[in-house]
Amino acid sequence: MLNVVLVEPEIPANTGNIGRTCVLTGARLHLVGPMGFDLSHKSIQRAGLAYWQSLDVKTYESWDEFARVCIPRLDEHVHLLTKTGRRTYAESTYRQGDWLVFGKESAGLDKELLDQHPDLCESIPMRSDDALANASSWHQSFAQAHPELREDICGNYVDERAGWITSLNLSNAVAIVLYEALRQNDFRW
């Protein structure tokens, strides 16, 4: 079984979507607090639909509690997903029991954690599409108000200096990495 870890998730619908993906793939979901919502939130229930009661989910008050209980030693079985990884998720080797760790939508994983474990950091490459920034007046005004950001191909605004995956594609990012890990482990439907 693979372990998907969401550290301080903020958007309940993302967590619901990720929970549904975990049910369908047999992965265990770990939610590390503090979370930006409670688990009874309507958005989780709506996104998770009938799957939520079948989800193997564990919750933790903090990263310290999670690390103490689950991964007291950060080693090659831990995959820290960030935009600043030295290798891509597709260059990594995944085994049953591995931990796929994703940070909160607004800020990603703690920079100190990433700096302490650069060999565990993996990126999900995204190509930019500057044409999207001119698609509407809203995009133009947002881009002007935030010159430090660039827009990726999905229409998400990204701070390239940060090591985080944007909120609009966190559930997609989890699915991409989880399915690669399953592929490497001969997952059969």
Residue 124 has pLDDT above 50, yes or no: yes
Residue entry with tokens 């919502």? 37
- pLDDT at residue 53, rounded to an integer: 82
Domain ranges of the chain: 3-124+165-184, 128-162
Determine the pLDDT at residue 95. Answer: 95
Mean pLDDT of 113-122: 94
Is the pLDDT score of 175 beyond 80?
Answer: yes
The Cα 33–Cα 64 span in angstroms is 10
pLDDT in tens, 56-101: 999 999 999 999 999 988 899 999 998 878 899 999 999 999 999 9
Six-digit token string for 8: 């301080």
- CATH number of this structure's domain 3-124+165-184: 3.40.1280.10
What pLDDT is attached to residue 137?
A: 55
Calpha distance 174→80 (Å, rounded): 12
Q: Which residue has the tokens 């049953």?
A: 96
Query: Which residue has better confidence, 146 or 156?
Result: 146
For residues 43 and 122, the model is more confident at: 122
Tell me, what amino acid is at 126?
M
The DSSP symbol for 78 reads: E
pLDDT for the residue 12: 82
- Local structure of residue 154 (DSSP, 8 states): T
Residue 134 has what pLDDT? Answer: 42
> Is the pLDDT assigned to residue 126 strictly greater than 70?
no
Q: Above 60 in pLDDT, residue 167? A: no
User: What pLDDT is attached to residue 38?
Assistant: 79
- Tell me what percent of the chain is helix, strand and coil, each rounded to the nearest 5: 40, 20, 40
Mean pLDDT throughout 166-176? 75
SS3 at position 103: coil
Model confidence at 129: pLDDT above 50 = no
Give the lowest-confidence range in 40-44, 152-156, 164-168: 164-168
Q: Rounded mean pLDDT of 132-149?
A: 57
Residues 6+ apart with CB under 8 A from 13: 43, 44, 46, 47, 171
Residue 155 sits at φ, ψ, to 5 deg, of 90, 10
